[in-house]
Amino acid sequence: MRVSPGFIQMWISFIAMGLMIAAALLIMLSRCKLKGIFRFALSFFSYFIFIIGGLLMLLVMIT
């Protein structure tokens, strides 16, 4: 059984959207509830996964 490229692109776009939603929620959590080094660490991780999600979405749109 062979999976079509369009189906793989669909799943990659779902993963990208999930990463972007998770990043937004984590950024809101870090700004409202955390202080100090935990706030910085969670914000850094959130922006990192947001960038990964954005690059995946760009990859899907280009192909």
Q: What is the mean pLDDT of the chain?
A: 94
**Which of 38, 62, 42 has its CA nearest to residue 50?**
42
Contact 26, 42 (CB under 8 A): yes
pLDDT of 63 above 90: no
Radius of gyration of the chain (CA): 15
The amino acid occupying position 39 is: R
pLDDT at 22: 97
Say whether pTM exceeds 0.75: yes
Model confidence over 32-62: pLDDT tens digits?
Answer: 998 999 999 999 999 999 999 999 999 999 9
Ordered by start, the domain boundaries in the chain are: 24-63
**CA within 13 Å, CB half, 50:** 12
CB atoms within 10 A of CB 13: 16
